[in-house]
Amino acid sequence: MLILGIETSCDETAVALYDTTRGFLEGCTPRAGLLAHALHTQVALHDEYGGVVPELASRDHIRRLLPLMREVMERGEADVHELSAVGYTEGPGLAGALLVGASVAASLAFGLGVPAIGVHHLEGHLLSPLLAENAPAFPFIALLVSGGHTQLMHVSGIGQYALLGETRDDAAGEAFDKTAKLLGLPYPGGPALARLAEDGRPGRFRFPRPMIDSGDLDFSFSGLKTAVATLCARHALDKATRADVAHAFQEAAVDVLVAKCVAAMERTGLERLVVAGGVGANLKLRAALDWAAASADFDVHYPPLEFCTDNGAMIALAGALRLSAELRDSRSGALRLSAELRDRRSGALRLGTDPSIMHAASPHCAFTVRPRWDLSEIVGS
Ligand code: KG4
Ligand code: ZN
């Protein structure tokens, strides 16, 4: 089956094409199924505003999405009529941005008579380490560290996610971004701060490690950002000082993330940790986790760097895994998908393995977007 994946939740328009016959075969790694992927980042568009402007993001997704879809189909050497499903990010994210991807995906799926599969953005991130050469087996602990989320999840299988702990205030990526702003760095702050930190002198400043000894698996990052703001107000921010602050901030954030991961591994007794989301691209975090994993005797898996931040491949893969799971579970041949298209008058499920059912369906085509959506809500779905 060929699945197209569409990601438009924030400031990246991304598309990918996934082939389950290549990716899910016995003896293959899921990476083998990824036929093509393409991405347009809006970083330059939002740069002058110091952060994402939602309306501009939506408009740019409209401009970029169809050309990217064409490019991916061409590079994957596939025809749109060969698609078995269209996956799209249903949430969480910016409402207008999500609507662009969802409406294009649902329209294409409706036209082709195939299912549109709404994918949880964090489920995409969480499964993205499967795209690495050494894909982790279930079960594992996932550290999700993005611009909007910091969570530790117990992952038993596709759709089986239990929340172990999460941030009580800012997300880790948000703390990187806000601290970067305090240091006068351009958006997006995380990578810029990490680069500046390389020039910082270890030991000049030390920030608190919030909640590191709290005894639970929750996080808090807003106090760390406030500590940086207080220090910045007291020092002349010459280039060397800014680098020292960046270094000390990164050390503190990484220490907390690593300590909570080690605690989660100890508490659950699992053997594999996966790290996903934009902050997972941070090389200091990776090095510290690798060291901790070697000391505490667990394995740690990351997505390839290009699939750490938002991308279409993770949505295509998550859509493909969901579709395969649904097909396996389905007794009657009818698909139970989160983005199911229903005939509004009768409420009848109009999705089927036979595409002719779709063509006979009512012209009403419904889809959902969920700007706020908790990953643990899809447990067992
Ligand atoms: O997963 P992602 O692309 O989008 C969300 O779903 O939020 O994550 C973006 C976040 C931003 O906060 C960005 O600053 C951060 O990931 N980020 C990094 C690095 N690369 C991206 N933070 C620290 N170090 C990095 N190398
Ligand atoms: Zn993301």
Ligand 1 atom with the shortest distance to the CA of 125: 1
Tell me how far the alpha carbon of residue 328 lies from the centroid of ligand 2, in angstroms: 28
Ligand 1, atom 10: closest residue by C-alpha: 147
Nearest-angstrom CA–CA distance, 123 and 75: 26
* N-term to C-term CA, the chain: 21
Tell me how far the alpha carbon of residue 213 lies from the centroid of ligand 2, in angstroms: 28
Nearest-angstrom CA–CA distance, 156 and 18: 23
Nearest-angstrom CA–CA distance, 148 and 161: 18
Tell me how far the alpha carbon of residue 357 lies from the centroid of ligand 2, in angstroms: 35
Nearest residue to 147 (alpha-carbon basis) of 178, 104, 103: 178
List the beta bridge partners of residue 150: 145
Nearest-angstrom CA–CA distance, 72 and 67: 9
Ligand 1, atom 23: closest residue by C-alpha: 190
Ligand 1 pocket check: which of 279, 307, 315 to mutate, most ligand atoms within 8 Å of Cβ?
Answer: 279
pTM for the full predicted model: 0.89
> From first to last of its 381 residues, what are the pLDDT tens digits of the chain?
999 999 999 999 999 999 999 998 888 889 999 999 999 999 999 999 989 999 999 999 999 999 999 999 999 999 999 999 999 999 999 999 999 999 999 999 999 999 999 999 999 999 999 999 999 999 999 999 999 999 999 999 988 999 999 999 999 999 999 999 999 999 889 999 999 999 999 999 999 999 999 999 999 999 999 999 999 999 999 999 999 999 999 999 999 999 999 999 999 999 999 999 999 999 999 999 999 999 999 999 999 999 999 999 999 999 999 998 877 766 444 444 433 433 333 333 333 333 333 333 334 467 789 998 888 777 654
Tell me how far the alpha carbon of residue 42 lies from the centroid of ligand 1, in angstroms: 14
Nearest-angstrom CA–CA distance, 247 and 224: 13
Nearest-angstrom CA–CA distance, 131 and 33: 9
What ligand is nearest to the CA atom of residue 12? 1
pLDDT value at residue 328: 74
Q: How far are the Cα atoms of 46, 58, 122, 123, 310 from residue 94, in angstroms, in the given order?
A: 14, 8, 14, 17, 13
Both tokens assigned to 371: 């700007």
- By DSSP bridging, strand 2-7 and strand 12-19 are antiparallel
Tell me how far the alpha carbon of residue 173 lies from the centroid of ligand 2, in angstroms: 10
Q: Which amino acid is at 63?
A: R
Tell me how far the alpha carbon of residue 324 lies from the centroid of ligand 1, in angstroms: 30
Pocket of ligand 1 (CB under 6 A): 10, 146-148, 173, 176-177, 188-191, 194, 277-279, 281-282, 309-310
Tokens 């402007």 sit at which residue?
Answer: 53
Tell me how far the alpha carbon of residue 14 lies from the centroid of ligand 2, in angstroms: 11
φ/ψ of residue 289, rounded to 5: -70, -40
Tell me how far the alpha carbon of residue 157 lies from the centroid of ligand 2, in angstroms: 20
Nearest-angstrom CA–CA distance, 92 and 105: 16
Is residue 260 within 8 A of residue 160, CB to CB? The reply is no
Nearest-angstrom CA–CA distance, 160 and 80: 31
> Each residue of 350-370: b (16+ CB within 10 Å) or e?
bbbeeeeebeebeeebebebb
- By DSSP bridging, strand 272-276 and strand 299-301 are parallel
The angle, 0 to 180 degrees and rounded to 10, between the axes of the packed helices 54-75 and 95-112 is 30
Nearest-angstrom CA–CA distance, 60 and 45: 9
pLDDT value at residue 363: 42
Ligand 1 pocket check: which of 143, 176, 258, 282 to mutate, most ligand atoms within 8 Å of Cβ?
Answer: 176
Nearest-angstrom CA–CA distance, 253 and 255: 6
Residue 254 burial class via C-beta count within 10 angstroms: exposed 0-12, middle 13-18, buried 19 and up? buried
Ligand 1 atom with the shortest distance to the CA of 309: 3
What ligand is nearest to the CA atom of residue 278? 1
Both tokens assigned to 132: 């690495």
- By DSSP bridging, strand 83-91 and strand 116-120 are parallel
pLDDT value at residue 330: 63
pLDDT value at residue 357: 35
Ligand 1, atom 24: closest residue by C-alpha: 282
Ligand 1 atom with the shortest distance to the CA of 172: 12
Tell me how far the alpha carbon of residue 231 lies from the centroid of ligand 2, in angstroms: 30
Ligand 1 pocket check: which of 146, 150, 187 to mutate, most ligand atoms within 8 Å of Cβ?
Answer: 146
Nearest-angstrom CA–CA distance, 99 and 290: 39
Element (H, E) at 318: helix 313-329
